[in-house]
Amino acid sequence: MLWMQALIAAWTLHIVGRRPRHLAITLALLVFIPLGQGHSIATAMRALWGDPSLTSVQLMLLCFMGKTPAALRNDWREPALLVLSGMALYATSLGPWNLDLYRLGYQPLWIVVWFSIPCLYAWWKGNALYLWLLLIDLLVWRACLVESTNFWDTLIDPLLVVSMATIGLRNLQRSRRKTTSSPTKT
């Protein structure tokens, strides 16, 4: 799965940095250059972040195909939902308390309910993308086509949380700039 690390790095460079696709892919391929003893930047990335989630892979493929979801280009609320979910997951998993959301991933009914509510709302508003992402994640996880048996690993990963936080902050800053720079009507 090291090739996935390179693609995730290219996606992050492409979306966050607004670099052309070919430059982002070229820079991401540099992670395979051996640093010594058979290790590369890609192996270090995998050790740090693990394998990318299926959600990351789906979003990355959409962006590379030129079909970047509008929420990633313009809105801050949908990325914020993923960031908050990831922060809750990692905080409860690493914290000193007895609550561990990661355990819910082995029987993911509540996770599916949690993510279904905003997905169904987006579908009702005319954006079925998030419902499709959740459905594909669930089907692939249920068919045991992913390495992990925990549904959280299919849904979210640390790099996705960091990318969504960066994208959400960028979009929030853009929307604030637009509202302050637009002339007011009297």
Of the pLDDT bands very low, low, confident and very high (cuts 50, 70, 90), residue 115 is: confident
Query: What contacts 132, CB < 8 A, 6 or more positions away?
Result: none
Higher pLDDT, 120 or 36: 120
**Residue 64: is its pLDDT beyond 90?**
no
What value does the mean pLDDT of the chain take? Answer: 81
| E strand segments, the chain | 34-36, 39-40
Max mean pLDDT range (50-54, 166-170, 181-185): 166-170
Query: Pairing state of beta strands 34-36 and 39-40?
Result: antiparallel
What predicted TM-score, i.e. pTM, was given to this entire model? 0.76
Rank 20-24, 27-31, 79-83 by mean pLDDT and report only the highest: 79-83
**What are the backbone dihedrals phi and psi of residue 126, each rounded to the nearest 5 degrees, phi first?**
105, 10
Residue spans per domain, the chain: 1-50, 52-181
Task: Please give the average per-residue pLDDT across 49-77, as a whole number.
Answer: 84
Q: Once rounded to an integer, what is the mean pLDDT over residues 40-68?
A: 82
Predicted pLDDT at 87: 92
Q: How confident is the model at residue 4 (pLDDT cuts 50, 70, 90)?
A: low
CA distance 156 to 135: 14
What pLDDT score does 77 carry? 87
Closest by Cα among 166, 185, 75 to 122: 75
